[in-house]
Amino acid sequence: MNQWLGFLKKEWFESVKTYKLMLVVVIFSILGILNPFTAKITPVVFEKFMPEGTFVNLPEPTALDSWLQFYKNVPQMGLIVFILLFSTMMSKELEKGTLLILLSKGLRRNTVITAKFFMALCYWTLAITLSFTITYAYTAYYWDQSQLQHLLFAASCLYVFGILLLAVTLWGNTLFATPYGGTLVTILVVIALFIAAIFPQSANWNPLELLTATTQLLTGELTPSDLWIPYTITLFTTILVVWLTISHFKRKLL
Partner 1 sequence: MVVQINGVTKRFGDHEVLKDIHLDIPEHTVFGFVGANGSGKTTLMKCMLGLLPLNAGSITIAGQSVTFGETKSNQYVGYLPDVPEFYPFYTATQYLELCAVITNMTKTERQGRIHELLELVGLADTTSLISTYSRGMKQRLGIAQALLNRPKLLICDEPTSALDPAGRAQILSILHKAKEETTVFFSTHIVSDAEQICDHVAMLHEGTIIFQDELVNLKQQMTGQFIFTFTIPVTEVHERLKNTPFKVKIDSEQLVVNLPDESTQLAFMQELTTQKILIQSMQPKTRLLEQLVLEVLG
State the Cα–Cα distance between residues 46 and 56, nearest whole angstrom.
Answer: 8
72 versus 109: smaller Cβ distance to partner 1: 109
CA distances from 230 to 45, 108, 138, 170, 172 (A): 38, 33, 31, 21, 22
CA distances from 50 to 44, 54, 58, 101, 165 (A): 10, 6, 12, 64, 40
Total Cβ atoms within 10 A of residue 150: 19
Q: How far is the CB of 173 from partner 1 (least distance, A)?
A: 18
Total Cβ atoms within 10 A of residue 20: 19
State the Cα–Cα distance between residues 130 and 138, nearest whole angstrom.
Answer: 12
98 versus 125: smaller Cβ distance to partner 1: 98
Q: How far is the CB of 61 from partner 1 (least distance, A)?
A: 45
Q: How far is the CB of 243 from partner 1 (least distance, A)?
A: 15
10 versus 72: smaller Cβ distance to partner 1: 10
Q: 203 and 209 in contact (C-beta within 8 Å)? A: yes
Q: How far is the CB of 51 from partner 1 (least distance, A)?
A: 56
14 versus 226: smaller Cβ distance to partner 1: 14
What is the tally of helices (H) and strands (E) in the chain? 12, 0
Q: How far is the CB of 13 from partner 1 (least distance, A)?
A: 7
19 versus 236: smaller Cβ distance to partner 1: 19
Binding region for partner 1 (CB under 8 A): 2-3, 5-7, 9-10, 13-14, 17-18, 96-98, 100-109, 250-251, 253-254
Among residues 44, 66, 47, 65, the alpha carbon closest in space to that of 56 is found at 47
72 versus 108: smaller Cβ distance to partner 1: 108
Among residues 195, 199, 210, the alpha carbon closest in space to that of 75 is found at 210
59 versus 97: smaller Cβ distance to partner 1: 97
Q: How far is the CB of 65 from partner 1 (least distance, A)?
A: 43
**What residues contact 225, with CB distance under 8 A and at least 6 apart?**
none
Q: How far is the CB of 81 from partner 1 (least distance, A)?
A: 22
